[in-house]
Chain A
Amino acid sequence: MKHALPGSPLTLALLLISCGEEEKQAESHGGGSHRPVIAAVSYPLAYFAERLSSDFATVLYEVPTDQDPAFWEPGDEQIAAIQKADLILLNGATYAKWVSTRTLPGETTVVTSSSFRDRLMETEGTLKHTHKEGEEAHSHDGLAFTTWLDFKQASAQASEIALALGERFPERKSTVMTRLDALLEDLNNLDTGMATATSGLGNAPVIVSHPVYQYWARAYSIVAPSLLWEPDMELTPGDMAALARIREEAPGATLFIWEDDPLPQNIEKLKRIGLTSVVISPCGNRPESGDFLSVMRANIAALQALSN
Chain B
Amino acid sequence: MNPGGIAFLSWKHLSHRPMRSLTLVTAIALTLFFPRALQVFISESEDVLQERARSTPLLVGPKGSSIDLTLNSLYFTPQQLPPLTYAAYEKLSRQRFGTTIPMHSRFRAEDAPVIGTSLAYFELRELMVDSGRMITRLGDCVIGAQLSARKNLKAGDTITSSPENVFDLAGVYPLRMRITGVLAPNHTADDDAVFVDLKTTWIIEGLAHGHQDLTDPGTSGAPRESGEKVVRANASVIEFNEITDGNITSFHFHGDPGTYPLSSAILVPRDQKQRALALAAYQDKDATAQMVIPLSAVTDLADTLFATQRLALAAFRLLGVAALGLASLVFLLSFRLREREMLTYAKIGAGRILIGTLKAVEVTIVVISAMILARVAVSLTRSLATDLLSRFLN
User: Which chain A residue shows the least CB distance to B99?
Assistant: A107
The answer to the question of A137 belonging to the interface, with a C-beta cut-off of 8 Å to chain B, is yes
Contact B140 A106 (CB under 8 A): no
Q: How far is the CA of A173 from the CA of B99 in the complex (A)?
A: 21
The answer to the question of B241 belonging to the interface, with a C-beta cut-off of 8 Å to chain A, is no
Contact B215 A79 (CB under 8 A): no
- The distance from the CB of A99 to the nearest CB of chain B, in whole angstroms, is 11
The answer to the question of B118 belonging to the interface, with a C-beta cut-off of 8 Å to chain A, is yes
Q: How far is the CA of A116 from the CA of B222 in the complex (A)?
A: 37
Contact B137 A129 (CB under 8 A): no
The answer to the question of A97 belonging to the interface, with a C-beta cut-off of 8 Å to chain B, is yes
Q: Which of A101, A132, A137 contacts B248 (CB 8 A)?
A: A101
Interface with A: B229-237, B311-319, B339-347, which one?
A: B229-237
Q: Which of A100, A103, A127, A138 contacts B254 (CB 8 A)?
A: A138
**Residue interface bits A49-90, CB-to-B below 8 A is 1, else 0:** 000000000000000000000000100100110010000000
The answer to the question of A32 belonging to the interface, with a C-beta cut-off of 8 Å to chain B, is no
Interface with A: B43-51, B128-136, B293-301, which one?
A: B128-136
If A103-B136, A127-B229 touch, does A97 touch B120 (CB 8 Å cutoff)?
Answer: no
Contact B118 A106 (CB under 8 A): yes
The answer to the question of A128 belonging to the interface, with a C-beta cut-off of 8 Å to chain B, is yes
User: Which chain A residue shows the least CB distance to B122?
Assistant: A105
Q: Which of A73, A79, A107, A130 contacts B233 (CB 8 A)?
A: A130
Contact A102 B137 (CB under 8 A): yes
**Residue interface bits B93-120, CB-to-A below 8 A is 1, else 0:** 1000001100000000000000000111
**Residue interface bits A124-139, CB-to-B below 8 A is 1, else 0:** 0111111111010110
CB-CB under 8 A from B237, the residues of chain A are 131
Contact A128 B229 (CB under 8 A): yes
Q: How far is the CA of A127 from the CA of B233 in the complex (A)?
A: 13
Contact A103 B140 (CB under 8 A): yes
Contact A76 B136 (CB under 8 A): yes
Q: Which of A100, A101, A105, A125 contacts B118 (CB 8 A)?
A: A105
CB-CB under 8 A from B199, the residues of chain A are 100-101
- The distance from the CB of B93 to the nearest CB of chain A, in whole angstroms, is 7
Contact B137 A79 (CB under 8 A): yes
Q: How far is the CA of A225 from the CA of B254 in the complex (A)?
A: 29
The answer to the question of A140 belonging to the interface, with a C-beta cut-off of 8 Å to chain B, is yes
Task: Mark out the residues of chain A between 207 and 255 whose CB falls within 8 Å of any chain B CB in the assembled complex.
Answer: none
User: Which chain A residue shows the least CB distance to B98?
Assistant: A107
If A76-B136, A102-B137 touch, does A137 touch B230 (CB 8 Å cutoff)?
Answer: yes
User: Which chain A residue shows the least CB distance to B93?
Assistant: A106
The answer to the question of B191 belonging to the interface, with a C-beta cut-off of 8 Å to chain A, is no
Q: How far is the CA of A132 from the CA of B245 in the complex (A)?
A: 27
Contact B233 A131 (CB under 8 A): yes
Q: How far is the CA of A106 from the CA of B199 in the complex (A)?
A: 13
Q: Once A and B bind, how many residue pairs between them come within 8 Å at the CB atom?
A: 80
How big is chain A's contact interface, by range? 20 to 34
CB-CB under 8 A from B232, the residues of chain A are 129-130, 133
Contact B231 A128 (CB under 8 A): yes
Residues of chain B at interface, number, CB under 8 A: 34
- The distance from the CB of B215 to the nearest CB of chain A, in whole angstroms, is 5
- The distance from the CB of B48 to the nearest CB of chain A, in whole angstroms, is 28
Q: How far is the CA of A102 from the CA of B251 in the complex (A)?
A: 11
If A127-B229, A129-B214, A131-B233 touch, does A102 touch B118 (CB 8 Å cutoff)?
Answer: no
Contact B231 A80 (CB under 8 A): no
Contact B197 A127 (CB under 8 A): no
Contact B93 A140 (CB under 8 A): no
User: Which chain A residue shows the least CB distance to B243?
Assistant: A101
CB-CB under 8 A from A76, the residues of chain B are 133, 136-137, 180
CB-CB under 8 A from B138, the residues of chain A are 101-103
Q: How far is the CA of A125 from the CA of B214 in the complex (A)?
A: 16
- The distance from the CB of A153 to the nearest CB of chain B, in whole angstroms, is 21
Contact B99 A101 (CB under 8 A): no
CB-CB under 8 A from A138, the residues of chain B are 254
Contact A80 B230 (CB under 8 A): no
Contact A101 B249 (CB under 8 A): yes
- The distance from the CB of B373 to the nearest CB of chain A, in whole angstroms, is 52
Q: How far is the CA of A131 from the CA of B254 in the complex (A)?
A: 10
Q: Which of A101, A130, A135 contacts B137 (CB 8 A)?
A: A101
**Residue interface bits B228-272, CB-to-A below 8 A is 1, else 0:** 011111000100000101001101111000000000000000000
- The distance from the CB of B73 to the nearest CB of chain A, in whole angstroms, is 17
Contact B120 A83 (CB under 8 A): no
Q: How far is the CA of A18 from the CA of B222 in the complex (A)?
A: 70
CB-CB under 8 A from A107, the residues of chain B are 99, 120
Q: How far is the CA of A205 from the CA of B100 in the complex (A)?
A: 48
Contact B136 A79 (CB under 8 A): yes
CB-CB under 8 A from A135, the residues of chain B are 254
Q: How far is the CA of A40 from the CA of B157 in the complex (A)?
A: 32
If A103-B140, A127-B215, A129-B232 touch, does A83 touch B249 (CB 8 Å cutoff)?
Answer: no
Task: Mark out the residues of chain A between 109 and 130 whose CB falls within 8 Å of any chain B CB in the assembled complex.
Answer: 125-130
- The distance from the CB of B101 to the nearest CB of chain A, in whole angstroms, is 8
User: Which chain A residue shows the least CB distance to B253?
Assistant: A100
23 A/B residue pairs, CB under 8 Å, sorted by A: A73-B245, A73-B249, A76-B137, A100-B199, A100-B252, A101-B248, A102-B137, A103-B137, A103-B138, A103-B140, A103-B197, A105-B119, A106-B93, A106-B118, A127-B230, A128-B229, A128-B230, A129-B230, A129-B233, A130-B230, A130-B233, A131-B237, A135-B254
Going nearest first, the 3 A-B pairs with the smallest beta carbon separation are: A129-B231, A79-B136, A105-B119
B interface residues with partner A (beta carbon < 8 Å):
93, 99-100, 118-120, 133-138, 140, 180, 197, 199, 211, 214-215, 222, 229-233, 237, 243, 245, 248-249, 251-254
Give me 12 other A-B pairs in contact (C-beta within 8 A), A73-B249, A131-B211 excluded: A80-B133, A100-B253, A102-B138, A103-B136, A106-B93, A106-B100, A127-B230, A127-B231, A128-B230, A128-B231, A129-B231, A133-B232
